[in-house]
Structure 1
C-alpha cells in the first residue's frame, strides 16, 4: 500500500503507439492546437477592437473563446510533450491540469447558460432588453459565470489534497479528479459532498437552458419574423450547445460505464472529444453565421489584401 507522501508522480495511459504514429499524431495535434488558438484569438480580437460588437451577445461569445483558450492550454501542451517523451505527470501538475480542464468545462456551461438567457430576453422581452442587459449587469453576469466555475472546481480539487493514495496510475491521457479520487485508500467523503453540490449547480444550469429554449421555440413558431430571428441568433448557439453537451457526455458516460476491453484509441477519442471539437466549433459556427462578425472578418481580410497589393 502506497502512502500519499510516496505518490509524487502519476502515470497516464493511452499513448502506447509506434514512433511513427506518435510523430504523426504530434504534428496533427500541433496543427489543431494552432488552429484553436488562431480561430479563438481572431474572434477575441475582432470583438474587442470593433465597438459595434460591444453588445451582450458578443461579449459572452468573447468570453466563450477566452475560456476555450484557457482550457486548451491546460491540455494540449502537456499532451504534446507526452507524445514525444514519457507520459508521467507530477502530483501538483496533475492537480493543476485537472483543475484547469474541469473549471474550463464548467465555465463553458455557465457561459452557454448565460447566452441562452440573453437570447430569451432579446426575443421574448425586446422592449426591456437594452435597459436590463446594461453594461453593469453584463459585467456582473460574466464575473459570476467565471467565479462559480472556478470556485466549484477549486473546492473539488482542494478536497483531494492530502488524501492517502493506494495507486499512481490514471487510465487516461490527462488528469481527472474523479479518477484521482478513486485511487484514495479510503472513500473521500468530502469530495463526494462537493461533487454532489457541483452536479446540483450544473444540473440547474441544464434545466434553465432547456426551459429557455422550450420557451423560445414556443414563442418563435407563431411568427415568421420571430422564426427568422431565432435562426439568425439562436441556431448558432444551439449548435454549439448540442456539440458541447454531446462531447462532454461521451467522456462522462464512457469514463464511468465504459468497457475496459474496448479499443484504447476509441477510449482516447471519446475522452478528448470535448477538447478537440468544441474549441474549434464555437468560433467557426459563430464566425460564419453571425453577420456582424462575418462582415468584420471579411472587412479585415479585404483591407489586408488592399495593403498587400499597394506594397507590390
Structure 2
C-alpha cells in the first residue's frame, strides 16, 4: 500500500456545510461572526490571565491552556470552512493531512485539559488543606505535558493510518473540513485498520476523561452535600457549574460524532462537529467568565489600567 505521495488524488474539494445557494451568504456571515467572537473571547481571557497575578492559580492555568487550544483549533477549522461559502474550496492532500493532524491534536488536548480542570476542582473542594501541594506548579506543568503527549500520540496515529490509504477517483469530501469519517468513505483501499484505530483512540480519549470527570464530580457532590452552610454549598456549586456545561457540550457532541453507527447521515456528522469545533470554542470564554467574580475583577482592573495608562 502506498503512502500519501503515491495517491493518485493530489487534492480534494470540500463541499462545505450546505449546497443550498440561498444559505451560503447568511451562513458565511454567521460563522464569520462566531469566529471573530471566539478569537476575541479566547485571546481576551488569555490576556486577562497573563496580566493579573491573582489569576495565576492552577484553575486559571488550565483555563489559560483551554483558551489557547480553543483559539488554535477553531483557527485550524473555521477559516477554511468560510472559503466554502463563497467559492469552490480546494485543499491539497498535504494541506488536508496537516489540517487533520492539528485538528486531532487540539481536540485530544481539550479532552484532557477538561479532565485536569475536573481534578483541580476535586482537589480544591475535597482536599482544601492539601490543595497547594496536590496542585503545585510542578504538578500542573506535568499534567500539561501529559496532555501534549496524549494529543501528539493520537494525532500521529491517525495520520499514519490515513497516509496508508489510497484515494483513486473520488476527491469530493462531503464536509467542511478534512475529518476522518468522510475521508474513509473516499478510500479505494481497505479502511478496517483505520476504523479500528479510530474506535480505540477515540474510545480511550473519550471514555477515560469522562470516567475521570464523573468520579471527580461524584466525590465533589458527596462533599458538597456534607456542607451545612447553604452559602458554602452555593459557592461550591458555582465553581463547578461552568465546567460541567463545557464538558457536556464538548463530550456530548464528540461522542455522538465518533461513537455512533456508520449508517448515520452526513448532515448529522456536520452538525455535531460544529458544536465541538466552532460553537464550543466560542462559548467557553463566556461560560467561564460570566458568573466568575475573579474574572470580572481582573477585567475591571485591566480596563482601568488601560484608561489611565
- TM-score, with structure 1 as normaliser: 0.87
| 8 Å contact from structure 1 (residues 250, 271) kept in 2 | no
Work out the CA distance in 2 between the residues paired with 1:284 and 1:68.
Answer: 13
Alignment-derived partner of residue 191 in structure 1: 194
2:230 counterpart of 1:228 = no
Counting matched residue pairs gives 300
Alignment-derived partner of residue 111 in structure 1: 113
2:220 counterpart of 1:216 = yes
Decide which of 43, 58, 69 is 2:45's aligned counterpart.
Answer: 43
Task: Give, in angstroms, the shift of residue 137 of structure 1.
Answer: 1.2
Task: Give, in angstroms, the shift of residue 230 of structure 1.
Answer: 2.0
| 8 Å contact from structure 2 (residues 104, 155) kept in 1 | yes
Alignment-derived partner of residue 89 in structure 1: 91
Work out the CA distance in 2 between the residues paired with 1:81 and 1:202.
Answer: 31
2:189 counterpart of 1:177 = no
Over the residues paired in the alignment, what is the CA RMSD in angstroms?
Answer: 2.3
Aligned counterparts, 1:159-174, within 5 A: 159-166=161-168, 167-174=170-177
SS at match of 2:163: coil
Task: Give, in angstroms, the shift of residue 178 of structure 1.
Answer: 3.0
| 8 Å contact from structure 1 (residues 251, 273) kept in 2 | no
Work out the CA distance in 1 between the residues paired with 2:264 and 2:236.
Answer: 37
Task: Give, in angstroms, the shift of residue 229 of structure 1.
Answer: 3.5
| 8 Å contact from structure 1 (residues 11, 89) kept in 2 | yes
Q: Give the gaps of 5 or more residues in structure 2.
A: none
Aligned counterparts, 1:27-66, within 5 A: 27-66=29-68
2:217 counterpart of 1:206 = no
Work out the CA distance in 2 between the residues paired with 1:245 and 1:75.
Answer: 18
SS at match of 1:277: helix
Alignment-derived partner of residue 9 in structure 1: 11
Task: Give, in angstroms, the shift of residue 102 of structure 1.
Answer: 2.2
Task: Give, in angstroms, the shift of residue 255 of structure 1.
Answer: 7.9
Work out the CA distance in 2 between the residues paired with 1:244 and 1:201.
Answer: 12
Listed one character per residue, the Cα deviations across residues 20-59 of structure 1 (whole Å, up to 9, x for unaligned) are 6323322222222111000000000110111111110000
SS at match of 1:211: helix
The runs of at least 4 consecutive aligned structure 1 residues that moved more than 4 Å come to 302-307
Work out the CA distance in 2 between the residues paired with 1:202 and 1:241.
Answer: 11
Point out the more displaced range, 229-238 or 178-187: 178-187
Work out the CA distance in 2 between the residues paired with 1:82 and 1:91.
Answer: 17
Q: Give the gaps of 5 or more residues in structure 1.
A: 308-312
Task: Give, in angstroms, the shift of residue 106 of structure 1.
Answer: 1.4
Work out the CA distance in 1 between the residues paired with 2:58 and 2:218.
Answer: 22
Work out the CA distance in 2 between the residues paired with 1:270 and 1:17.
Answer: 19
SS at match of 1:11: strand
